[in-house]
Amino acid sequence: MKSIFPLYFDTLNCSNGAHTQPWTFSVVRDQDTKEKVRQIIEEEEKINFEKRMGEKWVNDIKHGGTLLRNRNLSKCSTLIAVFKQVLLLRQKGEKRTHYYNEISISIAVGLMLAAIQNAGLVTCTTTPLNAGPRLRKLLGRESYEKILLLLPVGYAADNATVPDLQRKPLQDIMELHDHVVK
Amino acid sequence: MKSIFPLYFDTLNCSNGAHTQPWTFSVVRDQDTKEKVRQIIEEEEKINFEKRMGEKWVNDIKHGGTLLRNRNLSKCSTLIAVFKQVLLLRQKGEKRTHYYNEISISIAVGLMLAAIQNAGLVTCTTTPLNAGPRLRKLLGRESYEKILLLLPVGYAADNATVPDLQRKPLQDIMELHDHVVK
Domain count, chain B: 1
Cβ-contact A114, B10 below 8 angstroms: yes
Give B75 to chain A, closest Cα distance, Å: 15
Interatomic CA distance for residues B164 and B176, integer angstroms: 28
DSSP B83-129: EEESEEE-GGG-EEE-TTHHHHHHHHHHHHHHHHHHTT-EE--B--T
Question: If you average pLDDT over every residue of chain B, what do you get?
Answer: 83
Q: Any idea what the CATH number is for the domain that residue B54 is in?
A: 3.40.109.10
Q: What is the pLDDT of residue A182?
A: 44
Closest CA to A150 of A165, A164, A129: A129
Note the pLDDT of residue B40: 94
In a domain, A63, yes or no: yes
User: Is there a domain that residue B9 lies in?
Assistant: yes
Nearest-CA distance from A149 to chain B in Å?
9
* AA letter at B47: I
Average pLDDT over chain A reads 83
B167 part of a folded domain:
no
Measured between CA atoms, how close is B138 to chain A, in angstroms? 10
A33: pLDDT confidence band, cut at 50, 70 and 90? very high
Of A19, A31, A64, the CB nearest to B165: A19
- CA atoms of B154 and B27, how far apart (whole Å): 12
Tell me whether residue B130 is in a domain. yes
Does residue A140 lie within any of the structural domains? yes
The pLDDT tens digits for A138-166 are 999 998 999 999 999 999 889 888 878 88
Cβ A100 vs Cβ A16: under 8 Å? yes
- Percent of chain A scoring above 70 in pLDDT: 85
ipTM for this prediction: 0.83
Residue pLDDT tens, chain B, 182 long:
445 655 666 666 677 777 778 889 999 999 999 999 999 998 998 888 888 888 877 777 666 555 555 677 888 889 999 999 888 777 777 887 888 889 999 999 998 998 888 888 989 888 888 899 999 999 999 999 999 999 999 998 898 888 788 888 888 888 888 875 44
DSSP E strands in chain B: the ranges are 23-28, 78-85, 87-89, 95-97, 122-123, 145-154, 174-177
* Among A10-14, A61-65, B42-46, B65-69, the range of highest mean pLDDT: B42-46
Which of B112, B119, B105, B128 lies closest to B154, judged by CA? Answer: B119
Q: What angle in degrees, to the nearest 10, is found between the helix axes of A101-118 and B101-118?
A: 50
- What is the spatial distance between Cα B156 and Cα B159, in angstroms, rounded to a whole number? 8
Mutation target for B interface from A103, A138, A164, A170: give the one with most B CBs within 10 A.
A103
Evaluate whether residue B124 is within a structural domain: yes
How much is the pLDDT for B182? 44
Structure confidence at residue B160 (pLDDT): 85
Contacts of A61 in chain B (CB under 8 A): 18, 99
Task: End-to-end CA distance of chain B: give it in Å, rounded.
Answer: 58
Given B12, B149, B174, which is nearest A8 (Cβ)? B174
Q: With an 8 Å Cβ cutoff, are A125 and B11 in contact?
A: no
Q: Phi/psi at B121 (nearest 5 deg)?
A: -100, 170
pTM across the whole model:
0.86
Mean pLDDT of A49-68: 71
Nearest to B168 by CA among A147, A115, A139, A16: A16
Question: Which residue in B57, B69, B181 has the most chain A C-beta atoms within 10 A of its own C-beta, making it the best mutation to test that interface?
Answer: B181
Please state the φ and ψ torsions of residue A50, each to the nearest 5 degrees. Answer: -90, -30
**Residues B70, B48: Cα–Cα separation, whole Å:** 14
Tell me which amino acid residue B85 is. Answer: Q
Full residue range of the structural domain in which residue A25 is found: 2-157
Give chain A positions within 8 Å (CB) of B127: 17, 100, 103
Residue A169: CB partners within 8 Å, gap ≥ 6?
Answer: none
Give the pLDDT score at B150.
94
Does a structural domain hold residue A6?
yes
| Residue B177 within any structural domain of the chain | no
Residue A175: exposed, middle, or buried by beta-carbon count in 10 A (0-12, 13-18, 19+)?
A: middle
